[in-house]
Amino acid sequence: MKFSVATLIALPALSSAFIPAGRSATFGTRLGASAVVTGPEGKAAASAEEDLELTYKVILDFIDASDTNGEEAPAAAVEEVAAPAAVVEEEEPAVDISIPYDARAQLAYEASDKSMGYDDFKAKYEADSVAEVMAKYVDLSIPYDAAAKLAYEASDKSMAYDAFKEKYEADAVADVVAKYVDLSIPYDAAAKLAYEASDKSMAYDAFKEKYEADAVADVMAKYVDLSIPY
């Protein structure tokens, strides 16, 4: 319960209510067993200040009692809902889809007249399979002297193959060397070109020495010092 500011301001004017005329009186609120008397041992207040203090006490006790009586009971606890039981999925039976390594032999044996035991049939079946694969094998490798062999087959075979092969390889090397072109550039190529374009009034060695000296002097003349002194 709350009191307005106007009520608290009017408290001094109401203090006379706690000073009975001619006799001491016990003053209390309507709080039952928690009644507050106006003074020690039920005596009236001795002064206006004490009367005002007791008035404040009565009002505050009344407010505390009202707040206590007005509290709401705590909310009821929410019952915990049990989680549904987990559904256990049944495992499906495993299906073996593997293929045994001798499946072909087994199928062939089932299709045969079974005139022999399976073990003997299997050994013969696998041996026949290997022989059939080897019969279809084609060697695609190329021997290193294949070119010599082809040339020998196209020749008149007037000499033995070994002698023909030796001559054939020597001729092949000579043919490759004859077609070789040197693309390297000699370090004095510029001097040689300049000499060929000159009147050749001096020998090449002297011309080369003078040409290189002039080339160095020409480069130095165009040199620009871009260094920055410290």
Q: At which residue do the structure tokens 């390297």 appear?
A: 184
CB 105 within 8 A of CB 126: yes
* Confidence at residue 75, expressed as pLDDT on a 0 to 100 scale: 47
| Tokens coding 65 | 């009692």
Paired tokens of 64? 């505390």
DSSP state of 98: -
Query: What are the pLDDT tens digits along the chain (230 aa)?
Result: 444 444 444 444 444 444 444 444 444 444 443 454 555 566 666 777 877 787 778 788 777 776 555 554 444 444 444 556 667 777 888 888 888 888 888 899 999 998 999 999 999 999 999 999 888 888 888 888 889 999 999 999 999 999 999 999 999 999 998 888 888 888 888 999 999 999 999 999 999 999 999 999 999 888 888 888 88
pLDDT of residue 59: 82
Identify the sign of the CA torsion 56, 62, 66, 67.
positive
Query: How much is the pTM?
Result: 0.27
CA 144 vs CA 141, 147, 161, 169, 170: distances in Å: 10, 8, 15, 11, 15
Instruction: Return the pLDDT at 17.
Output: 46
